[in-house]
Amino acid sequence: MVYVDGLIITGNNSTKLDTIIQSLGHQFNLKDLGNLHYFLCVEVIPTNTGLFLSQHNYIYDLLSRYKLNGAKPTHTPLSTSETLQLHGGFAATNSTIFKSVIGALQYLSLTRPDISLSINHLAQFMHKLTHSYWFVVMRLLRYLKGTLYHGLHLRSSSSISCTAYSDADVDDRAGNVDDRTSTSSYIVFLGSNPISWSARKQRAVACSLTKTEYRALATIASELGWLYLLFRELNLVVPHIPKILYDNMGATQLSHNHVHHSRMKHIAIDLYFVHDYVTKGLLQVHHVSSHDQLADLLTKALPRIRFTHLWTKINITNGEPILRGNAKNPATDHAPSVTTIPLIRENQAVKNLATDHAISPLVTTISSTRDNQAIIANLSKS
């Protein structure tokens, strides 16, 4: 990982990592900060089973900024009985603060896929705000208050199979009631760990539920195609064909049926796109029951029991026992000693130099005072 003057080098060979660090040190003024523990407001804590990623300090600062440290927590980020509408609510309010909050929350979704749907909904109304949207924002912040120490627990596993859950919804809990577009979502697992997720409004109105679901299926097929190319660049061999688990029987059957139906002409491109992946053996599409559909968490507002059940399935964990021995109380804690940078930008060249095979938990952090592009160019020549 490279961002401005900060680097994260990872690999499964400590000797090779030391060689790379020494090569960099011969040409540039570097400071080795040791094993990765804090980068871009994300705290990385080693555990007995893997790594725990937390942004609890970031959440605490966000709550303090809007004076919500003493707010009453809530158990879910969205209400199941209320929907957002473009022309609903009271008189318009100042949009500057609202946009600032949404921007801050978007960065938080790096380790909290459980709030992706809420952020997607709120971001759709930034151009025309009312006071009613603030109630939804406050509910989301109260949810974060109650889940302050929750984070993403990445567990080591011998399995590196790629599995994706995808879903779409058209009811008022997820669809847009102003233009009746639907919400598509997916979450991709490498082994047992989530590596990619999204909740997004579809660009066009669908005439049937099957068309809505199939558009979502085409979206995740495209994402898996991109991930497959990324794995190949990282020399990561996935032994099994990527699998999509879908809870709509009609969309699942269409992915295997090569006969073009006239009623599906509006989604013909998506139809052939997914079918091409399936027939070439690059993708598998299987049916899964709605109860086991993990993408529901990113598709629609859910009641408390169902919501809690799903976020435990995607490795969101209460990290308070883990953080107790690694961090102070966020009320008195300050930022760790490692320099905090506001954005992560991936650089493939550094990753390829750092490792020959799969990424492992062996990680080191380096801080440089010169241009990283020059570092990469010089190392590539050597």
CATH number at residue 238: 3.30.420.10
Q: Is the pLDDT assigned to residue 334 strictly greater than 50?
A: no
- What pLDDT score was predicted for residue 380? 40
Determine, yes or no, domain membership for 363: no
- Which of 252, 236, 310, 240 is closest to 286 using CA atoms? 252
User: Is 345 within 8 Å of 46 (Cβ atoms)?
Assistant: no
Determine, yes or no, domain membership for 316: no
Determine, yes or no, domain membership for 254: yes
Please state the rounded mean pLDDT for residues 63-86: 85
More confident residue, 130 or 162: 162
Backbone angles phi, psi at 9, to 5 degrees: -110, 130
Determine, yes or no, domain membership for 280: yes
Please state the rounded mean pLDDT for residues 118-134: 78
Q: Which amino acid is at 243?
A: K
SS3 at position 39: strand
pLDDT band at 259 (very low <50, low <70, confident <90, very high): low
Determine, yes or no, domain membership for 355: no
Tell me how many domains the chain contains.
1
The CA–CA distances, whole Å, from 280 to 162, 241, 275, 297, 350 equal 17, 11, 9, 31, 33
Determine, yes or no, domain membership for 303: no
Question: What residues make up the domain containing 288?
Answer: 157-298
Which pTM does this prediction carry? Answer: 0.77
Look over the chain and give the mean of its residue pLDDT values, rounded to a whole number. Answer: 76
pLDDT band at 335 (very low <50, low <70, confident <90, very high): very low
- What pLDDT score was predicted for residue 368? 38
- What pLDDT score was predicted for residue 365? 41
SS3 at position 60: helix
Strand order in the sheet with 363-368: 2-3, 6-10, 363-368, 30-35
Determine, yes or no, domain membership for 218: yes
- pLDDT tens sequence across 157-169: 777 889 999 988 8
Backbone angles phi, psi at 150, to 5 degrees: -75, 145
The residue to which tokens 């603030």 are assigned:
134
DSSP 73: P
Determine, yes or no, domain membership for 99: no
Backbone angles phi, psi at 322, to 5 degrees: -75, -45
Annotate 316-341 with b (16+ C-beta within 10 A) or e (fewer): bbebeebbeeebeebeeeeeeebbee
The CA–CA distances, whole Å, from 106 to 103, 172, 198 equal 5, 23, 12
